[in-house]
Every structure is written in structure tokens, then in C-alpha cells.
Amino acid sequence: MSRFLNEKYKALKEYVPGEQPKDMKYVKLNTNESPFPPSEGVVNAVNRENAELLRLYPDPDCSELCEKLAGLFGFEKENVFVSNGSDDILNFAFMAFCSDGETPVVFPDISYGFYKVYADLHKADYQQIPLKADFSICADDYVGVGKNVVIANPNAPTGLTLSLDEIERIVASNPENIVLIDEAYVDFGARSCIGLVPKYDNLIVVRTFSKSYSLAGARLGFAIASKEIIADLNKIKFSTNPYNINRISLIAGCRAIEENSYYMNNCKLIAKTRRRVTEELRRIGFEVLDSEANFIFARTAEMDGETLYLELKKRGVLVRHFTVERIKDFNRITIGTDDEMNVFLREVKTILGKA
């Protein structure tokens, strides 16, 4: 830290992303990326012609991509906001609706770690509501809470979901507050609440191209909400970095939406593999939460979470371990291809002497 850093940032604990190691080639099951490549149209968009256009700024309104997303979900383009990864949108939303303690915000104690970082960064008045003993979110804790609400559905790192009814009760009972539902993992089996947006002007649904659309490296996220909320997010974007999505990523996003069925089919394959791996781990004594995401959250009484993570890493399989006390026995395992998951299962069994 330099002696110049503003006082307000000195104690900030930044987000620690999952490892992206360069020392060897791993079976990489630690950051919930898709194991499948982007579709043909996306790959072909990264061509000479588009590269030469990089001398020009990208469209700051992201009109084409907003229109395509609006078309896909049945909205007008003014209901859509796209940004540099959904992290960017979460950042803007905390800034726009929760900063400086003006409106308190609540989110689960065990959820996507960035919520707390953004809350600290923007000096939000926040409260983390504990998950239930079974690691699920108690919807009633948020019904009529009278504060802004941020919930990942499915939740991360548990993979557990709230039903559409429970989400609607939370949104309907907090009409004077923003309810942000982070649907980063919704395409892998859960029900989206995007259909509630026309009914509730306090709901923001945040999505990403990083998981189901195989575009983590392109950094693209989007939000669907009332036109007024989208205008608020644009106000923040145009006050910080109007050109925050590069040309190639914008084109990639458009082509991906045109080839939507390829991605939705991949999601089905991932869900099928998830069910198989869940069953197999349970068969050898693991507790595996009922995930509807592209990852599972699992623990075994036979080995602590960190040791299992380290043993797997030694054998070239990377999973995600969190040191937070309540979940330190677990590992979060991204669902890869069937071949990758076979390597994972083989190594787990070897480590636990069950080969």
C-alpha cells in the first residue's frame, strides 16, 4: 500500500478470484467455466475484419446486443443493460442503490463473496443473513425485510435454489426496495424470475455469458429490469467508463444469442453429468447438496476439505476450497466434460482408498 491511498480504502479486503495457475495443465474444475467451446459463429467473429475495426471505439449503447437480448426474453431494448461481466453490473448496482449507507442491503452470509466486497467498497449499510442449517436460504428472512435484497439463485457456492414463488414473495413484499436476483447459474436447471420483471418495478435480474454461454474470457453480463432501473445503471456506466465492453466481445455476445440452442443444449449435458457425479459421490459416502448449477458442493467425513483439495491439486485436478469456517469441510467442484469428471472421480477414489 502506498502512503497516498485514500483513508476509506485502506481497510478494504478485496475479492480473491479462483486460482488460474500456469505451472501445469490441470483438469480445471475451480471457477465454474463451461467445458465446451463457444459456438461456431462466435469463434468466426474473432477474425481479421473485426480485429481491424478495433481502431474504432465500440458502441457505448451496445444497441445490437441489447436488442438481441430483448428479443430473446420478450422485452424492449430499454429493459436491458449489458456490461463487462456481471461483476460490473453488481458493482454498479451496489453503487447506484446501496452506497453510503443510504438504503440498507441484506444478502446471505454464505453466497457469492463479491457482494460483501462491493458493500464494503461502496460503504453500504449491510447485514448478512445466515443460511439455514441445511445451507438453504430461508425466504421468510427476506419477506418484508424493508431493505434492498441481493440473492444469487441458484446460490453459490451451494447450488441450492429458491422457488419462483419464494422469489416473488420477496420481491412483492419489499416494494420500496430493490431486489437483485443474480441468476449467473440459472440456465443449468433452475427457473428464472425474468418473467416477473414486467410486474415488479423493483426487481433486477442479473445474468452472465461466463457460464452457460462459454464466454468467461469475453467478460459479458446483462441485466433485465424496468426502464427506469436500467437508466440508473446507465447513469453510473456513463459516469465511469462508457466503452466498457470491447468490440469483439459485443460481436461474440450477438453471435452467441443467435446460436442460443447450442448453449442451452450444453447446459442440459452439464446437468446430466452433474446428476451422475452427484450420485457417484453419494455412493462413496459424500454429502452432496442438491445443486441446480454447473457445480456441486460436497464434503466427506473421511477427509477435511482442504486436504482433499490439496491432494486433488497434487494429482492435477483443481477444485475450489473456501476457508470460511462454516463451509471449510466442503469443496466446490465445477462440472466439466464426462471425461474430466471421470478423472476427478478416479482421483477422489484413489485418495480415499476406494479405487
Which chain residues interact with ligand PMP by CB under 6 A? 85-87, 112, 152, 156, 182, 184, 208, 210, 216, 221
Q: Minimum distance between the CB of residue 135 and ligand PMP, rounded to whole angstroms?
A: 15
Q: Which of residues 295 and 348 has its CB atom nearest to ligand PMP in the complex?
A: 295
In degrees, rounded to 5, the angle at the alpha carbon of residue 207 between the alpha carbons of residues 180 and 167 is 40
In Å, how far are 89, 219, 310 from 246, measured between CA atoms? 16, 9, 37
Q: Minimum distance between the CB of residue 350 and ligand PMP, rounded to whole angstroms?
A: 29
CA gap 182, 293 in Å, rounded = 12
Q: Minimum distance between the CB of residue 318 and ligand PMP, rounded to whole angstroms?
A: 15
Q: Which of residues 153 and 234 has its CB atom nearest to ligand PMP in the complex?
A: 153
Which residue in the shown chain puts its C-beta closest to ligand PMP?
85
Residue 224, strand partner residues: 80, 205
Q: Which of residues 91 and 278 has its CB atom nearest to ligand PMP in the complex?
A: 91
Q: Minimum distance between the CB of residue 207 and ligand PMP, rounded to whole angstroms?
A: 8
* Whether the Cβ atoms of residue 205 and residue 229 lie closer than 8 Å to each other: no
Q: Minimum distance between the CB of residue 33 and ligand PMP, rounded to whole angstroms?
A: 9
* Whether the Cβ atoms of residue 150 and residue 115 lie closer than 8 Å to each other: yes
Q: Minimum distance between the CB of residue 183 and ligand PMP, rounded to whole angstroms?
A: 9
Q: Which of residues 77 and 332 has its CB atom nearest to ligand PMP in the complex?
A: 332
Q: Which of residues 85 and 347 has its CB atom nearest to ligand PMP in the complex?
A: 85
Which residues have CB under 8 Å from 207's CB, separation 6+? 86, 183, 184, 186, 221, 222, 223, 224
Q: Minimum distance between the CB of residue 22 and ligand PMP, rounded to whole angstroms?
A: 20
Question: Which segments of the chain are extended strands (E)?
Answer: 27-28, 80-83, 105-108, 126-129, 148-152, 179-182, 203-208, 221-224, 287-288, 295-299, 317-318, 331-334
Q: Which of residues 81 and 351 has its CB atom nearest to ligand PMP in the complex?
A: 81
Closest-CA residue to 350 (of 310, 320, 312, 323): 312
CA gap 227, 221 in Å, rounded = 17
Q: Which of residues 136 and 173 has its CB atom nearest to ligand PMP in the complex?
A: 136
Q: What is the DSSP string of 222-282?
A: EEE--HHHHHHHHHHHHHH-TT-S-HHHHHHHHHHHHTHHHHHHHHHHHHHHHHHHHHHHH
Q: Which of residues 88 and 232 has its CB atom nearest to ligand PMP in the complex?
A: 88
H/E element, 341: helix 338-351
Q: Which of residues 211 and 300 has its CB atom nearest to ligand PMP in the complex?
A: 211
Tally of CA atoms within 13 A in the half-sphere of 288 that contains its CB: 22
Q: Minimum distance between the CB of residue 225 and ligand PMP, rounded to whole angstroms?
A: 16
CA gap 210, 221 in Å, rounded = 8
CA gap 141, 129 in Å, rounded = 8
Q: Minimum distance between the CB of residue 61 and ligand PMP, rounded to whole angstroms?
A: 20
Terminal Cα-to-Cα distance of the chain (whole angstroms): 49
